[in-house]
Amino acid sequence: MKIFLNKRIPKIGIELLNHPNIELIFPDKEELTHEEWLGYCKQSDALLSVGKSKFNEEFFEECPNIKAIALFSVGYDHVDIDAATKHGVAITNTPDVLSNATSDTSFLLMQMVARYAFFNLNKVRNGEWSSNFNPIANLGQELKGKTLGILGLGRIGYEMAKKCIGAFDMPIIYHNRNRHPEIEKELNAKYVSFDELLEQSDVITIHANYTAKDQHKFNKESFNKMKSSAILVNTARGGFVNEEDLYLALKNGDIFGAGLDVTEKEPLAKDSKLNTLDNICIFPHIGSATVEARSGMARVAAENIVAFVEGKKLPTIVNPSVFDN
């Protein structure tokens, strides 16, 4: 079968794809136009897709030969799952393998914001470290005993909770589509409404799966309900946060600070107003950027492709009902 891999992935994935029944198709250059990318898709039986290419009704109609897409990601909000299922296309993702790396990133962002670390690092680099000691300037806050509010207590949220309990003895509250009684007992976590999460949390960290109805879930109304000392951390999807409202909330002191690994448009524009603020730390979507996580993602994505080629059960299929017909 012809398998299109649009970007190079870690070695373990390539080794698995070195299969007698796979003809691996690589692009002849790093960056492809949409038309070039689509051309490769039209000549392939399946894709191992790196990035956020849109897979919608139009795509599946244009590429009827495609019968499986292995995503090099946990999230699949860029895929129309209903359309994929209708067209008989199996969709897989890479859960579990990046939970630790992404929660590490959330944990780091929380601390960076709490202590104005990014702002102070830039002061040193810009030669603005003054010898005039000011005991009330740029004061951060300690995290010990502060309440951690988790939106989406799944695999990544669970790892984040464990880190915060172990390091800072932080009480855990959470809001989910569904409750997790066993995790509540293990973490001594309390289930709350979304409004209660906003009102009671000292730190809110976003780990939920993103859907269209979640767009701008964190907006002016949300920020007004949060504590003025609260920190917002987002390593999930940029669409959760209304960035204009976040800018105003940070500028006006409605919340203490924010740490983002994701933004609505990536890369973030250099002239974004968010870049003018001292109380925000923004990373360029590095949540899974570790050797261990990316190798794990390559392995899982490749295992799904090999299973598809061999006619076996796909290990991490998102839409298992595709095989019901």
Catalytic residue (one of 237, 294, 299, 303): 237
Q: Examine the pLDDT at 111 and tell me if it is beyond 80.
A: yes
Q: Which neighbouring-strand residues pair with 173?
A: 149, 190
Three-class DSSP category at 174? strand
55-64 CB burial, b ≥16 within 10 A, e <16? beeebbeebe
- List phi, psi (to 5°) of 63: -125, 65
To the nearest whole number, what is the mean pLDDT of the chain? 97
Catalytic residue (one of 58, 266, 292, 310): 266
- State the pTM of this model: 0.95
- pLDDT band of residue 325 (cuts 50, 70, 90) is low
19 part of the active site: no
266 part of the active site: yes
Three-class DSSP category at 222? helix
User: Position 302: which residue type?
Assistant: A
Which pLDDT score is estimated for 155? Answer: 95
Q: Which tens digits make up the pLDDT trace of 277-315?
A: 999 999 999 999 999 999 999 999 999 999 999 999 999
Average pLDDT on 158-186 reads 97
Q: Which tens digits make up the pLDDT trace of 66-87?
A: 999 999 999 999 999 999 999 9
Distance between CA 61 and CA 54 in Å, rounded? 13
Which pLDDT score is estimated for 324? Answer: 83
Which pLDDT score is estimated for 41? Answer: 98
Q: Examine the pLDDT at 229 and tell me if it is beyond 90.
A: yes
Distance between CA 310 and CA 46 in Å, rounded? 13
237 part of the active site: yes
- List phi, psi (to 5°) of 99: -60, -45
Catalytic residue (one of 19, 87, 115, 285): 285
Distance between CA 110 and CA 89 in Å, rounded? 39
Closest CA to 68 of 54, 50, 53, 49: 49
